[in-house]
C-alpha cells in the first residue's frame, strides 16, 4: 500500500511549490496560471495537460523549482500509475528527469540561496530518489538520498520557522526510518539509521493541522500509518475519515477512489468494497481518468473481499474473470498478485494441482514486486483458509 500513498503524497507536495512562502521571486500571473493548471492535471492524473503547462513554465522561467519539481513528478506518476511500474523505458526516463531536476534546482539555489521553496523542492526530490532506491533495493543510495532530503527540509524551516509544510517530509523520514531497522537488516548493518516513530507521527499531525500546502499529503501518509495492523497508531476508522474527506475534495482522481476501497476493507466493510469496486470497474473506459490498466485493481478489491467473507467459489469466479479481462495487458503488480491470490483460493477449494500451477506462474515473472517468497511458500505448503483480517490487507504485500 505504501506505493499508493507515497505517489499521492508526492503529488500533493507539488502544491507547496506553487504558492511561495517568503520566496525571493514571485512568478508573473501567467506562470502562476500554468503552475496551477499543471498541478490540477497531476491531481487528476491528466498527465498530458500537466506536462504541457510545466513545459510552459520552463520556456518562460528556466530553472525555477516549480518547473523542475513538477517535471519530475509527472515522470514519476506516469511510471507508477500509467505504466504500473512495468515499463523499463519509462523507468529510465523517470530516472533521467529526476537527476536533471535535482541539478536544475541546485542551479536555482546558487542564485537564490534563501528561497525556502527551493530547499523544500530539493528535499522532496531527494526523498523521491530515496523511495525509488528502496524499491530497487539500492539501500546505500536510499540512505544518503534520505539524509540529503532531511537536511534540505530542515534548511527550509531554518529560513522560515513557520514553514509548517516541512514537517510533512520530516515526519515521513522519522516514521519510516524508525521502522526500517527491523525490516531491512542489510541496510541497518551498513549504516546507522536513526528515526523516531512517535516524533514522525507527531510531525505528520502538525502538517495535517497547520501546514498550508501539505495538510492533505500528511493525511495520506497518516492513512497508511493508521492502516498498519502492527503499528501502535493503528486506527483504520480515522483512515476512512481522512480518505473520505480527500475523495470529496478530489472526486476525479481514481486513486483517491481506490484508497477509499482499501480503507473500507481495513474496516471490515467487505460488501461496500465489492460495491465500490464494481462501480470503479464500470468507470474504466467511460471516464478518461480511469485507465484500462486499473482493471486488475478492481478485481483485487472484489476477489479479496470475497475471500475475507469466506465465499471461496465467488472469489474463484472473480479472479478467473479478472484474468480473462486483463490477459492482453503487460504483467502488472496487481495482476500478478491476483494470480497468487487465485492460487490461495484453489488451495482452500482443495484443488492443489491448480494452486501449484498458479504459484509456479507467479515465479515465471521477474520478481519486480517481491512476490516470489509468497509463491515459494505456497509451493511448499497449501494455503489454509483465512477470513476477515486474517486474509491479509487488500493491496499486494510484496
Residue 32 counted as domain residue: yes
In angstroms, the CA 360 to CA 3 distance is: 25
Residue 255 counted as domain residue: no
Residue 134 counted as domain residue: yes
Buried b (16+ CB within 10 A) or exposed e, 22-61: ebeeebeeebbebbebbbebbbbbbbeebbebbbbbbeeb
- Tell me if residue 289 falls in helix, strand or coil: coil
Domain closes at, from 207, 234, 261: 234
Judgement on whether residues 230 and 305 belong to the same structural domain of the protein: no
Q: What per-residue confidence (pLDDT) applies to 22?
A: 40
Judgement on whether residues 196 and 315 belong to the same structural domain of the protein: no
Judgement on whether residues 140 and 223 belong to the same structural domain of the protein: yes
What is the domain range of residue 68? Answer: 2-234
Nearest to 222 by CA among 176, 153, 279: 176
Judgement on whether residues 103 and 210 belong to the same structural domain of the protein: yes
Cell (9 digits) for 222:
497518516
Most confident of 21-35, 209-223, 355-369: 355-369
- Count up the domains in the chain and report the number: 2
Judgement on whether residues 147 and 28 belong to the same structural domain of the protein: yes
Buried b (16+ CB within 10 A) or exposed e, 340-366: bbbbbbbbbeebeeebbebbeebeebe
**Do residues 354 and 312 lie in contact, with contact meaning Cβ atoms separated by under 8 Å?**
no
Judgement on whether residues 207 and 308 belong to the same structural domain of the protein: no
Over residues 210-234, the mean pLDDT reads 87
Q: What is the CATH number of the domain that holds 103?
A: 1.25.40.10
Nearest to 247 by CA among 236, 234, 260, 261: 260
Judgement on whether residues 299 and 361 belong to the same structural domain of the protein: yes
What mean pLDDT is reported for the chain?
A: 83
Residue 109 counted as domain residue: yes
Q: Is the pLDDT higher at 82 or at 239?
A: 239
Residue 108 counted as domain residue: yes
Domain closes at, from 218, 234, 250: 234
Judgement on whether residues 222 and 293 belong to the same structural domain of the protein: no
Judgement on whether residues 179 and 302 belong to the same structural domain of the protein: no
pLDDT band at 315 (very low <50, low <70, confident <90, very high): very high
Per residue in 127-138, pLDDT (tens digit) is 778 777 776 777
**Do residues 185 and 139 lie in contact, with contact meaning Cβ atoms separated by under 8 Å?**
no
Q: What per-residue confidence (pLDDT) applies to 309?
A: 98
Residue 68 counted as domain residue: yes
Q: What per-residue confidence (pLDDT) applies to 11?
A: 46
**Do residues 204 and 221 lie in contact, with contact meaning Cβ atoms separated by under 8 Å?**
yes
Judgement on whether residues 71 and 184 belong to the same structural domain of the protein: yes
Residue 261 counted as domain residue: no
DSSP bridge partners of 284: 287
In angstroms, the CA 206 to CA 194 distance is: 21
**Do residues 200 and 173 lie in contact, with contact meaning Cβ atoms separated by under 8 Å?**
yes
Cell (9 digits) for 379:
509451493
Q: Is the pLDDT higher at 262 or at 13?
A: 262
Residue 240 counted as domain residue: no
Judgement on whether residues 177 and 310 belong to the same structural domain of the protein: no
DSSP bridge partners of 287: 284
Nearest to 133 by CA among 125, 124, 123, 143: 143
Cell (9 digits) for 184:
531491512
> Largest Cα–Cα distance of the chain, in whole Å?
68
Per residue in 256-281, pLDDT (tens digit) is 999 999 999 999 999 999 999 999 99
Domain closes at, from 178, 210, 234: 234
Judgement on whether residues 123 and 180 belong to the same structural domain of the protein: yes
The pTM of the full predicted model, rounded to 2 decimals, is 0.78
The set of residues, in sequence order, having a beta carbon less than 8 Å from that of 40 and lying 6+ positions away, is 46, 49, 50
Q: What per-residue confidence (pLDDT) applies to 324?
A: 95
Amino acid at each position: 500500500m505504501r506505493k499508493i500513498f507515497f505517489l499521492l503524497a508526492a503529488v500533493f507536495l507539488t502544491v507547496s511549490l506553487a504558492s511561495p512562502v517568503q520566496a525571493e521571486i514571485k512568478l508573473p500571473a501567467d506562470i502562476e496560471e500554468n503552475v496551477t493548471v499543471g498541478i490540477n492535471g497531476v491531481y487528476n492524473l491528466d498527465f498530458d495537460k500537466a506536462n504541457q503547462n510545466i513545459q510552459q513554465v520552463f520556456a518562460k522561467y528556466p530553472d525555477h523549482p516549480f518547473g523542475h519539481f513538477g517535471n519530475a513528478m509527472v515522470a514519476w506518476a506516469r511510471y507508477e500509475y500509467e505504466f504500473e511500474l512495468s515499463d523499463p523505458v519509462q523507468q529510465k526516463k523517470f530516472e533521467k528527469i529526476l537527476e536533471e531536476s535535482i541539478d536544475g534546482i541546485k542551479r536555482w539555489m546558487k542564485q537564490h540561496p534563501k528561497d525556502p521553496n527551493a530547499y523544500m523542492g530539493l528535499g522532496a526530490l531527494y526523498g523521491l530518489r530515496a523511495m525509488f532506491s528502496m524499491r530497487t533495493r539500492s539501500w546505500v543510495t536510499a540512505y544518503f538520498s534520505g539524509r540529503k532530503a532531511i537536511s534540505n527540509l530542515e534548511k527550509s524551516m531554518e529560513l522560515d520557522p513557520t514553514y509548517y509544510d516541512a514537517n510533512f517530509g520530516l515526519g515521513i523520514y522519522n516514521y519510516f526510518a524508525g521502522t526500517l531497522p527491523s525490516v531491512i537488516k542489510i541496510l541497518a548493518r551498513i549504516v546507522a539509521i536513526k528515526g523516531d516513530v512517535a516524533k514522525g507521527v507527531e510531525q505528520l499531525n502538525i502538517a495535517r493541522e497547520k501546514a498550508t500546502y501539505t495538510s492533505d499529503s500528511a493525511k495520506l501518509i497518516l492513512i497508511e500509518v493508521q492502516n498498519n495492523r502492527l503499528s501502535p497508531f493503528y486506527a483504520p476508522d480515522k483512515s476512512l475519515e481522512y480518505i473520505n474527506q480527500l475523495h470529496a475534495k478530489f472526486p476525479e482522481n481514481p486513486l483517491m477512489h481506490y484508497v477509499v476501497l482499501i480503507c473500507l476493507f481495513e474496516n471490515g466493510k467487505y460488501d461496500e468494497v465489492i460495491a465500490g469496486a464494481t462501480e470503479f470497474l464500470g468507470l474504466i473506459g467511460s471516464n478518461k481518468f480511469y485507465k484500462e490498466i486499473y482493471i486488475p485493481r478492481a478485481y483485487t478489491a472484489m476477489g479479496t473481499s470475497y475471500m475475507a467473507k469466506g465465499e471461496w467459489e465467488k472469489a474463484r469466479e472473480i479472479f478467473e474473470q479478472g484474468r480473462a479481462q486483463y490477459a492482453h495487458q503487460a504483467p502488472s503488480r496487481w495482476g500478478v498478485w491476483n494470480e497468487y491470490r487465485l492460487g490461495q483460493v484453489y488451495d482452500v477449494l482443495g484443488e492443489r494441482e491448480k494452486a501449484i500451477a498458479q504459484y509456479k506462474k507467479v515465479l515465471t515473472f521477474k520478481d519486480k514486486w517481491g512476490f516470489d517468497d509468497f509463491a515459494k511458500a505456497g509451493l511448499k505448503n497449501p494455503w489454509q483458509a483465512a477470513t476477515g483480517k486474517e486474509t491479509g490487507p487488500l493491496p499486494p504485500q510484496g
